[in-house]
Amino acid sequence: MCGRFAQVIKHDELVRLQKELNASISSEQLELSYNVAPTQTVMAIVSKAALRYNGFFRWGLIPSWMKELPKTPLINVRFESIHEKPSFKASFIRRRAIIPINGFYEWQAPGKIPHYIYPADGGLLYLASIYDVWEGADGSFLPSIGIITTEANEFMSALHHRMPLVVSQSHIDPWMDPSLQNHQELRGLLLSNPAPSLKYHRVSPAVNKVSNNDETLIEEYGSQQELLF
């Protein structure tokens, strides 16, 4: 699964993001966060016709047909059933996105020991996502987004049985192509997606508290630190 992540896209990474995704970034992040939690605002890249651009979304998908906000945010969407579930099917076909992140957190059992997972090359991870726009009874609009997850690969299985689906550079164009609306082709695209090259290390349990939010959260948590925590 994916329950927390870091999205701190500074100038050099923003330039790389625009180049790799061929996207127009109208503004930088509203809020840099080393500890993004469900229902908070995240930046994502979406497509419309031939344009790619950034938008801001509530993390936790709210299908447009819902009459009220769900009590439990749908932060993760299972790849295995995304093409079948009414809550996800239309967005999978027509409203796909990429959430660029620096890395994500996972808690290893037993003991729920937090770890930070990040790209081996030091760049960004591009998470496959779907979005929707919910309209409240008062006429207000709320764009929301959910991260697609899949079975953990061999590398990640030591930490958890699920992981976010990372879109490789070679698969970005078809994934972001709004004209591709065949769910079988989309599933085939994601199934053929190469496994990402990742690293991970243990981090401080300070990440467990949402209000903690600084760069120390992603630093390796050594035995000496543990004694002093």
User: For residue 169, what is the domain's CATH number?
Assistant: 3.90.1680.10
Longest CA–CA span in the chain (Å) reads 55
Q: Is the pLDDT score of 179 beyond 80?
A: yes
Is residue 44 within 8 Å of 13, Cβ to Cβ? Answer: no
Q: Rounded distance, CA 154 to CA 81, Å?
A: 22
Average pLDDT score over residue span 26-39? 82
Q: Is pLDDT above 80 for 224?
A: no
Distance, CA of 104 to CA of 115 (rounded, Å)? 8
pLDDT confidence of residue 223: 54
Cα(96)–Cα(50) distance, integer angstroms: 14
Dihedrals phi, psi of 210, to nearest 5 degrees: -60, -35
In this predicted structure, what is the pLDDT of residue 208?
96
pLDDT tens by residue, 90-126:
999 999 999 999 999 999 988 899 999 999 988 999 9
pTM: 0.93
Return the residue matching tokens 């299972």: 78
Q: Active site residue: 2, 31, 68, 219, which one?
A: 2
- Active-site residue 135, yes or no? no
Which residue range forms the structural domain that includes residue 210? Answer: 5-228
- Written as six digits, the tokens of 225 are 């630190």
Tally Cβ neighbours within 10 Å of residue 220: 12
Calculate mean pLDDT across residues 83-91.
88
Percent of the chain with pLDDT over 70: 95
Of 106, 154, 219, 220, which one is the catalytic site residue? 106
Number of domains comprising the chain: 1
Would you call 106 a catalytic residue per the annotation?
Answer: yes
